[in-house]
Amino acid sequence: MVGIAALLGGLGAVTIGFGLLLAVMALVQPFMDPYWIIGNLAVGAILLAAAVFMSFDSLLERMRSGEGRRAGKYGSSAILSLLLGLAILGFMAVLSVNHSRRFDVSESGVHTLSQQTVDLLESLEEKITITAFFAESEAPPIRDLLDRYAFVSDRVDLRFVEPNSAPGLVDELGLTTESLARGVVRFEIESGGSTNLSEFSESEITNALLKLIRATDAKVYFLTGHNERRIEAEPGARASFSTDADSYGAAAESLENETYEVASLLLASVGEVPADAAAVVVVGPTRPLLESELAALERYVEGGGALFVGIDPRAQTNLYGLLESYGVTLGDDVIADLTFAVFGQATTPIAAEYSVTHPITSLLREPSLFPVARSVRLEPSAESSFSILVKTGPESWAERDLEGWRTTGEAEYGPGDLKGPVPIAVAGTLPRVPPIDDGMEEQIMVHGRIVVFGDSDFATNENIDALRNRDLFVNSINWLTGDIEHISVRPNVSRASSFQMSQVEFRAIQYLSLFVLPEVIAILGVVMWWLRRRAH
C-alpha cells in the first residue's frame, strides 16, 4: 500500500488492535464499555476495507508475484505474533484478578487497614455478610474501603445493592428513604444478629463489627467527686467533644466502641468499688480523697482489681501515698524537651520510646503526645513487678526547680533535675494473698493490676486523637481488664490524604488514562510514520 491507502491501513490496524485488546480486558473487567470496543473494531474494519479498496489492483499484482508470497508469509507471522501477545495479556489479566495484591503508597497508609482491623478479620469464626445500599454513582468510595475487608478475610461476603432495583429487600429491612439518601451498610453475622451503619470510615466499620461479634460484659468506672476529668457534659451544657476539650468523653466513647460499658463512680456514696467493675479509672484529680475512699481503692486493687491513674503535675491529691506503697513515685516536677516536643512548647514532649515487651505498647511504633507531664519512677522493690511503658526523648529532663522556673520564666537542665529519657508511665501487677480462711486448704494468689501516667491531658477530647494517644489509653484499659487479645493499633482518624470523585469523573479518568491516550499516541505514531515515508 502507498499514499492515503497506507495511512488508512495503519490507522485501521491500530484501532482493530485496540479493539481486540479491550475485548480481552472485558473478560476480567466487567465495567468495560462495550460501545468503545465495538466502535474501535468497526472503525478499524472500515479503515482497512477502505485501504484495501483504494489499493486493490496493486495488492492483487503483489499477491501474484514472489514479493506477495513473502509479504503474506511475514504478514501471517505478524498476525500470529499479535494474537499470541493478546493471549498472553489476557492470561496475565486473569492471573491478576485471581491472585491480586494491594499496594499502598500514601504518606500515612490511609489505604491500608489498621492492625486492629486485620486482627479482627483474621480471628473471625463466623461468616459476616456486608450489604451496601448505594446508588451506582455513590458506590466507588465505600466500595474501595469495603473491598479491603473482603480482601483480608474470606469469611466476609460483600455485595452492593442499588436501592431502587430491590424495593422488596429495602422494605423487608425497614430502611427509610432518609437513610438511603446517605447510603446504608448492613452487617449480619451467621449465628444471628445484625446492625446498620450510616458512617463509613474504617473506624466506624470496625467498631460495628466488634459490637456485632463481641458481647458487652466488662464495665469500666471513672471516679468522680474530686474534680476528676468528666465523661459526661456538665449539667445544663450541651455535650460536645470540640467545646468540652478537657473531658474524657471521647475516651469513654472509645471504650464503648470496644464493647465496654462505661459509668461514673462516686465512691464516697457507695463505700466499695462495685463488684462488676473490670477497672477503675482515676484521671486528673485535684482534691483529696476521703480516707474511706482510699481504703476502698486499696481493698479493690489488692483483691485483684484493676486501677488506671493519671495525675498531672502539682495536683493536690492524696493518692501519692497509695501509689508509693506499691513502689510507684510521681515526681514533683514538669518534663521539658527543647528538641522533641510540639513546636514552641517545651512542656509538651513527644514520647516515642516504648516498652517492646509489655502488651500495652509492644505494637506501637508512632509517638504519643503529653501536654504538661511529670515523671513516674519505680522504687527498686517494684522493678520486678512493674514495667516502664513510655519514656520521653534523650534530650528531655524533668525540671524540679518549679518555683525558679515560674519566677524567671526560663528552664534549663541543672543540678537536681532528672535527666532524660524520663519515664512517663508504668504498669505492673500486685500479687496479694487473700486473708487466711481455715476452710480453704490452699490459698489463691490474686493479681491486681495498675497503670500510672504522670499526665491526664493526653487522653482528653482535645488530645486523644494526637498521634497514638488513643491507642495508648485504650490498650491500657484492655490490659487492665485482661482483654489482651484486643490490644492493637487502631485506624487513623486524622490526616486522611484521600481524594473522592464521582462515578462519572472516575470513569472519565479511567478511560482517558487506560484507553484514549494510549490509542491517540499510537495513531499519532502511524501518522508520523506515514509522513516520513511520504517525504522519502
Same fold, 115-203 and 214-433+444-486: no
Tell me which residue of 492, 494, 493, 491 sits closest to 210, measured CA to CA: 491
> Which residues sit opposite 450 in a β-bridge?
307, 428
Architecture in CATH for domain 115-203: 3-Layer(aba) Sandwich (3.40)
Query: 214-433+444-486 belongs to which CATH class?
Result: alpha beta
Q: How many CA atoms lie within 13 A of 439 on its CB side?
A: 0
Tell me which residue of 256, 330, 270, 259 sits closest to 300, measured CA to CA: 270
Question: What are the DSSP E strand ranges found in 356-514?
Answer: 368-369, 376-378, 386-391, 397-399, 418-419, 423-432, 446-453
Quickly count helices (H) and strands (E) in the chain.
17, 19
Return per-residue pLDDT of the chain as tens, 536 residues.
Answer: 567 777 777 788 888 887 777 777 766 555 566 777 888 888 888 888 887 777 766 656 665 665 555 555 555 666 677 677 767 766 776 665 555 555 554 545 556 888 878 888 888 888 999 998 988 777 777 888 888 888 888 899 999 998 888 888 888 888 877 778 778 899 998 888 888 888 778 888 887 888 787 766 689 999 999 999 999 765 544 444 445 889 999 999 999 988 899 999 999 999 999 999 999 999 999 999 999 999 999 999 998 999 999 999 999 999 999 999 999 999 999 999 988 888 778 999 999 999 999 999 999 989 999 999 999 999 998 998 999 999 999 999 999 999 888 888 788 888 889 999 999 999 999 865 455 455 544 444 557 999 999 999 999 999 999 999 999 999 999 999 988 877 877 766 544 444 444 445 666 776 677 677 887 888 888 788 778 877 76
Cis peptide bond upstream of 421, omega within 30: yes
Taking the C-alpha atoms of residue 138 and residue 136, their distance in angstroms, rounded to an integer, is 5
Tell me which residue of 424, 423, 483, 491 sits closest to 449, measured CA to CA: 483
**Cell reading at 405:** 522556673
Cα dihedral sign, 382-388-393-396: negative
> Which residues sit opposite 178 in a β-bridge?
none
DSSP helix/strand/coil, 367: coil
Angle formed by the axes of helices 139-152 and 115-122, to 10°? 60
Q: How far is CA 485 from CA 135, 211, 231, 248, 307, in A?
A: 38, 16, 26, 24, 19
Residue with cell 429487600: 169
Cβ atoms 361, 395 nearer than 8 A:
no
Model confidence, pTM: 0.65
Q: How many CA atoms lie within 13 A of 37 on its CB side?
A: 14
159, containing H or E segment: strand 156-161
Taking the C-alpha atoms of residue 80 and residue 73, their distance in angstroms, rounded to an integer, is 11
pLDDT of residue 333: 96
Question: What are the DSSP E strand ranges found in 170-316?
Answer: 184-189, 194-197, 219-223, 261-265, 277-283, 306-310
pLDDT of residue 31: 55
Domain extents in the chain = 3-101+520-535, 115-203, 214-433+444-486
Taking the C-alpha atoms of residue 462 and residue 460, their distance in angstroms, rounded to an integer, is 5
Angle formed by the axes of helices 3-26 and 66-98, to 10°? 30
Which amino acid is residue 532, in one-letter code? R
CB burial readout 313-328, b (16+ within 10 A) else e: bebebebeebbeebbb
Instruction: Write the DSSP string, 338-365.
Output: SSSBSTT-TTSBEE-EE-SSSTTTTT--
